[in-house]
Amino acid sequence: MEEEVKSFTRINQDNFDLDVLQNHKGKTVVIFSADWCPYCVSFFNNWSEYGRVEDVCIADITDVGSELWDSFDIEVVPTMAVFENGILVKRWDGQLQRGLNIDQIQSVNEYLSKS
């Protein structure tokens, strides 16, 4: 399962293209994450086991100076956001000193399976 997470498209400030996201058809989950964040490591371990979403990309905001923090108003990582046809439709913000847990992973699975 760890290989599955590694295969996700990774974006960062240098290769992020808002036009590509806005013109994307269908639904995609963007997971905002940072390499230095222990809660992100835990989250991806849980995602490997419980995540059921196929169209996922990881927004790597390891650099605290990344403009993606401000562009998407990220305060805590990990944070998940669902975009549908380029529009933000749902978001799960990580909690300080907790991140996201299995309940939020199951919530994104359910949200995408209903729509």
pTM: 0.90
The DSSP result for 31-80, as a single string, is EEE-TT-HHHHHHHHHHHHH---SSEEEEE--STT-HHHHHTT--SSSEE
Weakest-pLDDT range from 22-26, 39-43, 52-56, 86-90: 22-26
Predicted local distance difference test score (pLDDT) of residue 1: 40
Task: Please check whether residue 66 is in contact with residue 11, taking contact to mean a CB–CB distance below 8 angstroms.
Answer: no
Over the stretch 28-82, which tens digit does the pLDDT of each residue have? 999 999 999 999 999 999 999 999 998 999 999 999 999 999 999 999 999 999 9
Q: What is the mean pLDDT of residues 96-110?
A: 96
Domains of the chain and any CATH numbers: 2-114 (3.40.30.10)
Q: How many CB atoms lie within 10 A of CB 30?
A: 22
Mean pLDDT of the chain: 90
